[in-house]
Amino acid sequence: MPAFSFSPSLKSRLLAAGIHLTLSLAVAVLAAWLVFALWYPYPYREISGGRELFLIVVTVDVIMGPFLTLSVFNRSKPVGVLRRDLTVIGFLQLAALVYGLWTVAVVRPVHLAFEIDRFRVVHAVDIPKGEMNQAPAELRHLSWTGPTLVSVRAFKNEDEKLETTLAALGGVSLSARPFLWQSYEKAKSQILTAAKPLSDLKNRFPAESGTIDAALKSASVGGNPGRSIGYAPMNSRDKFWTVLLDLHTTEVIAFVPIDSF
């Protein structure tokens, strides 16, 4: 029985598709660095949906380009026609990648806000259009390097309280309203009042003690028994986690996947 072998035409198509796949994977690695190192640092890749959305975008993009190259590559074509076909494929792939990254960018987390008695992740898409100019001047820039800490101020009057409460019932959280933003430091006393001792969290969730200790160790505070650690609940869309913080400085230390509401 003769050994199976690829035709020269198929070999050249497979080689071209393989080269295209290698280049596509290299671009995907760079895109992954952009998304996960800058836009969605831990834990936001877990709680803000960035990982799932990015994987869908990149998987489609990486598969589409090489597959199209495999379909159209043919050395018997005139050089100009082949170059045109590959250019069109590259353009389509680049357009798909740019659109995908833009989609990931517009839903990126921009603030971790302390809101009354909890932390809430604010995403760029959560902020009502046209309201950014109502934010304090120092908070009108939305971060491209991971969420920044802010807090929600107290209501100025009953009318403001009623309007924002009704909007919250409609799905627009207090933390997503720029005119309510203030610096994180201004809410220090409120944060310390809302935060509870770490021992309380471990008593409520004894099975999660190892997870809590590992989070503190990874934050390089596990071996500091003199540091007073507390916690407060955090939510991001449909995810509920817990923030661990210093009870003296209100510094956010670590995050654990525990619903402590």
Is 2 a member of any domain? no
CA separation for the pair 148, 140 (Å, rounded): 12
Domain edge (last residue) among 106, 135, 162 = 106
Question: Is 3 domain-assigned?
Answer: no
* Residue 1 maps to a domain: no
Res 223: pLDDT = 54
Taking the C-alpha atoms of residue 175 and residue 71, their distance in angstroms, rounded to an integer, is 50
Do 113 and 170 belong to one domain? yes
**Other CB atoms closer than 10 Å to residue 258's CB: what's the count?**
21
Model-level pTM? 0.85
Lowest mean per-residue pLDDT among 3-7, 28-32, 102-106, 158-162: 3-7
User: Which among 145, 131, 144 has a CA at the least distance from the CA of 181?
Assistant: 131
- Number of domains the chain is built from: 3
Say whether pLDDT at 4 is over 60. Answer: no
Q: Which domain holds residue 114?
A: 109-186
Higher pLDDT, 76 or 133: 133
Nearest-angstrom CA–CA distance, 23 and 19: 6
Which of 140, 152, 145, 157 has the alpha carbon at shortest distance from 183?
A: 152
Single out the residue in 143, 159, 186 at which a domain terminates. Answer: 186
Same domain, 96 and 124: no
- The tally of CA atoms less than 13 A away on the side-chain side of residue 236 is 28
pLDDT band at residue 6, thresholds of 50, 70 and 90? low
- Asked if the model's pLDDT at residue 69 lies above 90, the reply is no
Which of 126, 154, 186 is at the close of a domain?
Answer: 186
Q: Which two tokens stand for residue 9?
A: 């035409």
- Band the pLDDT of 71: cuts 50, 70, 90: confident
How buried is residue 47: exposed, middle or buried, by Cβ count under 10 Å (0-12/13-18/19+)? Answer: buried
Same domain, 113 and 102: no
Write out pLDDT tens, residues 141-187: 999 999 999 999 999 999 999 999 999 999 999 999 999 999 999 99
